[in-house]
Chain A
Amino acid sequence: QKEVEQNSGPLSVPEGAIASLNCTYSDRGSQSFFWYRQYSGKSPELIMSIYSNGDKEDGRFTAQLNKASQYVSLLIRDSQPSDSATYLCALYPYSSASKIIFGSGTRLSIRP
């Protein structure tokens, strides 16, 4: 089992709708969780971090963390074509606090 699992997509969402991206992880001791956005041909950009169970909102983005169920999700409200990118889920596993583990990413496409 991979440490961080994401559906590779592509996930196609109409413009203006809510895009929901999910990620599950295997290490129960995982601490900090991150969502990165990567446009084609560019390097990843950190867009959200979450450390506690529950929701964390930042503009159109909401990160949700459920440690009991070992999943973290990212909701994008009012999706725009500019949100089309690959979204990487990442975390610090308890056993290796200095190195982030990345998922393979979910490709999101917002259709006009």
Chain B
Amino acid sequence: GAVVSQHPSWVICKSGTSVKIECRSLDFQATTMFWYRQFPKQSLMLMATSNEGSKATYEQGVEKDKFLINHASLTLSTLTVTSAHPEDSSFYICSARPPTGPLFGYTFGSGTRLTVV
């Protein structure tokens, strides 16, 4: 149980275009999902907390208008990288916590490798 599916697993886009990444909880409902970014050989960086039915909470330094998050249902959160540039190239990972109490760890999606050319 507790599977999180992330799509696409990799994407290449041209500079200036937008890319949408989907994160789905397959066998549980997730009122909260989390979006991370990870550059090569660096640690996970939390970008934002996605809240079902309300606005996302962004971490300091993350541009809200550039990284649009929508959490329209209890099983789907999307991250849209708008007007992507080469410096946005990174590994984006979503996660969710199964609703079995606060003592359980996150389940991560498989990640999306974004390359902006």
Contacts of B105 in A (CB 8 A): 32, 34, 36, 46, 49, 90, 100
Is B69 close to A, CB under 8 A? no
User: Dominant SS at the A interface?
Assistant: loop
A45 touches which of B6, B44, B108 (Cβ 8 Å): B108
A-B contact count (CB 8 A): 49
Q: How many residues of B contact A (CB 8 A)?
A: 21
Given A88-B44, A102-B43, are A31 and B111 neighbors across the interface (CB < 8 Å)?
no
Residues in chain A within 8 A of chain B (CB atoms): 31-32, 34, 36, 41-46, 49, 51, 88, 90, 92, 97-100, 102-105
Is B93 close to A, CB under 8 A? yes
B40 to chain A, nearest CB (A): 9
Q: How many Å lie between the Cα of A43 and that of B46 in the bound state?
A: 14
The answer to whether B108 touches A32, judged by C-beta atoms less than 8 angstroms apart, is: no
A–B complex contacts, Cβ < 8 Å, 28 sampled: A31-B102, A31-B103, A32-B102, A32-B103, A32-B105, A34-B105, A41-B91, A43-B6, A43-B108, A43-B110, A43-B111, A44-B108, A45-B108, A46-B106, A49-B103, A88-B43, A88-B44, A92-B102, A98-B32, A98-B97, A98-B102, A99-B49, A100-B97, A100-B105, A100-B106, A102-B44, A104-B43, A105-B43
